[in-house]
Amino acid sequence: MAAMVKGKTLDFAQVMHRVREVLEQLPDARRGKNRHYRMTDAGVSAFSVFFMQCASFLEYQRRMQQEQGRNNVQSMFGAHDIPSDNQIRNLLDTVKPQALEPLYDALLEGLMNEGVIERYRTLQGKVLLALDGVTYFSSTTLHCAQCSQRRHAGRTLYSHSALTPVLVQPGQDKVVALAPEFVTPQDGSAKQDCELNAARRWLQRHGSRCAEFGTVVLGDDLYCHEPFCQALRAQGLDFVLVCKPESHPTTYEWLQMLERRGDVHSMTVRRGTPRKVYIDCYRWAHALPLRDADGALTVDWCELTTTNEAGKVLYRNSFASSLPVGAQTVREIVAAGRARWKIENENNTLKTKGYRFEHNFGHGKQHLSATLASLIVLAYLLHTVLDWLDERFAHLRELIACRQRVFDDMRALATYCHFPNWSAMIAFMIQGLTDGPQPVPAPP
């Protein structure tokens, strides 16, 4: 990946070359001789739909192929042929989403080589990794062997969920999406899978890599229990996790005891403007056990309560951390813990900002739903990477402030006009915005 981004000139064509390299390695379950369409064509075609944020993109390109003898899926994304929608679903149904993980790793490595990840460092040079789960499909009728099940109002509800890890940084609106892990029935287990188990599997595969560049794991109260915290520490990872009183009675009993002894520390910070003042009250304590047992894991605890001048509580939350909390660090640790909300914002973006994460593009019988969901997250990651490292795309984003309009314009252009490559379309858009309307590209 380093060669792809040398000199901070990563562009779409270079990334798509790497995408095709990985997709060429997708396992092909077909046994007959009828292999007109390659696995790469199926993967690239599906990815183009999510990248262009257009469910009808392939249909438009098939029509362009019939009328002009060429199409933008070939010239921009590098597919040789465009399979039918059903052929794409059948080909990708047998592909596990883990087959796409090398693409996530390559893009992350590129961001690290270009120094982007360095700008995410906080807490004495650490990177914040937020974990959260999201349900992206549910139905009372459509289901497969990979679905989770639960009874609701006398009916069985089938669903698909995923853990969607992201790198976050306080004050930074962009997140770096990492490879998702899917909640799915596990071989040899009689119990249903869950978000916490998915997080453990993800850490088994990626935890040591995260530890190499210094990672602090963020999560809600679901993750703040000793077995998971021990698993994080075993991987060399620190954590800042939401710690609620109702789910940690022992921890808060100790906190009350320490408070009576005067061992709970506090600090108050006033901020805001003369007309609107906020009062942040920080409290912290050391070496609190997470459960009632000899040898229980101990954590440092901290809390932030924000009020206005009238004393109305505007925000309150508490966190357990493996990092030492003190007067010099409590504000930074709390800010890190609060940054976990950015993963919820990311999941909302996937659902509502053009990616249509909850749309049923295809359910399949094996892995189709999860593999398509992983391609959607990959498109989201690539859009973020291009914002940072593709100079021409970044310039276009400066000219068009509204992100939705950028994709609306690209979809319209790619629907009616053929471009020899991605750069030609971006150049056409930039020239039109800076030099006035341009002639439509001539047909062959």
Residue 358 lies in a domain: no
Mean pLDDT lowest among 5-19, 36-50, 258-272: 5-19
Sequence-separated (6 or more) residues with CB below 8 Å from residue 115: none
Percentage above 90 pLDDT, the chain? 71
* Residue 408 belongs to a domain: no
Q: Mean per-residue pLDDT for 202-208?
A: 94
HSE-up of 239 (CA within 13 Å, CB side)?
Answer: 27
Using a 10 angstrom Cβ sphere, with 0-12 exposed, 13-18 middle and 19 or more buried, the burial of residue 154 is exposed
Q: Which amino acid does the sequence have at 63?
A: R
Q: How far apart are CA 37 and CA 199, in angstroms?
A: 36
Q: Tell which residue, 231, 238, 222, 108, has the closest CA to residue 167.
A: 108
CA 83-23-180 angle, to 5 degrees, is 110
pLDDT in tens, 341-356: 888 888 888 888 888 8
Query: pTM, whole model, 2 decimals?
Result: 0.91
- Do the Cβ atoms of 162 and 182 come closer than 8 Å? yes
pLDDT (tens digit, 9 = 90+) per residue, 373-416?
999 999 999 999 888 888 889 899 999 988 889 999 999 999 99
Mean pLDDT of the chain: 90
Burial of 128 (0-12, 13-18, 19+ CB in 10 A): buried
Which pLDDT score, from 0 to 100, does residue 145 have? 87
Give the SS3 label for residue 242.
strand
Q: With 50 as the cut, is the pLDDT of residue 106 above it? A: yes
* 122, 169 Cβ separation under 8 angstroms: yes
Domain assignment present for residue 326? The answer is yes
121 in a domain, yes or no? no
What is residue 440's predicted lDDT score, i.e. its pLDDT?
A: 62
- Quote the tokens at residue 390: 């593709």
Residue 436 lies in a domain: no
DSSP 50-116: HHHT-TTHHHHHHHHHHHHS--HIIIII--SS---HHHHHHHHHT--GGGGHHHHHHHHHHHHHTTT
- Residue 246: inside a domain, yes or no? yes
| Whether the predicted pLDDT of 116 surpasses 60 | yes
| Cβ(170)–Cβ(155) below 8 Å | no
CB-based burial, 67-97: b 16+ in 10 Å, e otherwise = eeebbbbbbbbbbeebbebebbbbbbbbbbb
Q: Which residue has the higher pLDDT, 281 or 343?
A: 281
Three-class HEC string of 273-327 = CCCCEEEEEEEEEEEEECCCCCCCCEEEEEEEEEEECCCCEEEEEEEEECCCCCC
Number of domains into which the chain is organized: 1
Residue 104 belongs to a domain: no
- Dihedral sign computed on CA atoms, order 38, 40, 45, 50: positive
Give the domain range for residue 268.
230-337
- Tokens coding 384: 């973020």
CA angle 312, 318, 319 (to 5 degrees): 160
Q: Is the pLDDT of residue 217 over 60?
A: yes
pLDDT digit string, tens, across residues 122-176:
998 999 999 999 999 999 999 998 999 988 788 999 999 999 999 999 988 889 9
Cα–Cα distances in angstroms (integers) from residue 364 to residues 126, 390, 408, in the given order: 40, 35, 29
Check: CB of residue 266 under 8 Å from CB of residue 281: yes
Residue 314: inside a domain, yes or no? yes
| Rounded Cα–Cα distance for residues 126 and 326 (Å) | 17
Confidence band, pLDDT 50/70/90 cuts, at residue 1? very low
Of the two residues 436 and 225, the one the predictor is more confident about is: 225
Q: Is residue 291 within 8 Å of 250, Cβ to Cβ?
A: yes
Task: State the chain's maximal CA–CA distance in angstroms.
Answer: 83
Which of 156-195 are b and which e, b meaning 16 or more Cβ less than 10 Å from the residue's Cβ?
Answer: eebebbbbbbbbbbbeeebbbbbbbbbbbeeeeeeeebeb
Who has greater pLDDT, 416 or 15? 416
